[in-house]
Amino acid sequence: MLRETTVGVDDLILPLFVVPGRGVRNEVGAMPGVFQESVDAIVDSVARAADVGIPAVLLFGIPEAKDPTGSHAWDDDGVVQQAVRAIKEAQGDQVMVITDVCLCEYTDHGHCGVIHDGDVANDPTCGLLVKEALSHARAGADIVAPSDMMDGRVGAIRSALDEADFSDLPIMSYAAKFCSAFYGPFREAAESTPQFGDRRTYQMDPANGLEALREVALDLEEGADIVIVKPALPYLDVVQRVKAEFECPVAAYQVSGEYSMIKAASANGWIDEERAVAESLTSIKRAGADMIITYYAVDVASSA
Ligand code: PBG
């Protein structure tokens, strides 16, 4: 009766990794219980998630081939586009399909944009992200989620969607995305480790809280409907400040490293997995998140 914070199944978003092929289900080494799956296997995973009441999934695509511009990202027949169509056909409106809009899974150098003179070029990248978002929209995505951190991409995607008759399609933007060591295991899952340098020129300095608020303000001005803070647990103050400052839905991403730390410690018998997960997710909600993107979504929903 007196408990102030609850984590509900309907707060959870499950990330999934789509790869080419059929019948593929490869476990990610650093993320036990998380798989790279072909479209047919993804459809089964989404059905299991829907059965336990999870309202939304977030899709990442790993293409057959990578190139300097990440051109498979906007291929209408790409893995994500195929997965969106297959999930929508199987589940209808039962599950919302959110697509990650970024180039790092699709570029051969692993950066989130095109490279000019050894660095990611902001504006040309925005143009490619627009093509990717439109392709996801045509496939039937319910929400697009740009995760690259280029300046101006939310506005560019918003006007392109509006012009193409997708004015109702919401944008969930990774507004405050920090340059974090906690993405390590994801880069194995998405095969997106940068081949040179790091992402410090476009992701945020972990020391900056006010900058996070400026990034969120910009994305909202440009038309974002939901903003994401990422990672979650090391940035609960940012979640709280964003929620206090802006009247918009806030999502927090419990990222791969947060997942793997709990998994590894519990595999060693050093920590009680279920309690550690419940406590982490409750803290994220208590800080002010309306929804949580978590690889633990199905486990939590199944034990609820
Ligand atoms: C990149 C992207 C990343 C994650 C989601 N989208 C990784 C990165 O920036 O390297 C990380 C998610 C996780 O660690 O679980 N577009």
Quick: pLDDT tens for 76-128.
999 999 999 999 999 999 999 999 999 999 999 988 888 998 888 889 999 99
Is 3 part of any domain?
no
Q: Which amino acid, one-letter code, is at 136?
A: H
Ligand 1 atom with the shortest distance to the CA of 183: 14
Q: Is the CB of 112 under 6 A from ligand 1?
A: yes
pLDDT on residue 1: 93
Ligand 1 pocket, 132 CB below 6 A? no
Query: pLDDT tens digit string along 158-176?
Result: 999 999 999 999 999 999 9
| 185: preceding bond cis by omega (within 30 degrees) | no
Residue 2 lies in a domain: no
- Which residues does the annotation mark as catalytic? 177, 230
DSSP H or E stretch at residue 241: helix 236-245
| Residue at 1 is within a domain | no
CATH number of the domain enclosing 82: 3.20.20.70
pTM of the model: 0.97
CB neighbours of residue 116 within 10 Å = 12
Number of independent structural domains in the chain: 1
Distance 186 CA to ligand 1 centre (A): 6
Atom 12 in ligand 1: residue holding the nearest Cα: 255
* Ligand 1 centroid to residue 304 C-alpha, Å: 27
Q: H-type helices in 56-183, by residue range?
A: 79-91, 122-139, 153-163
Q: Is residue 4 situated within a structural domain? A: no
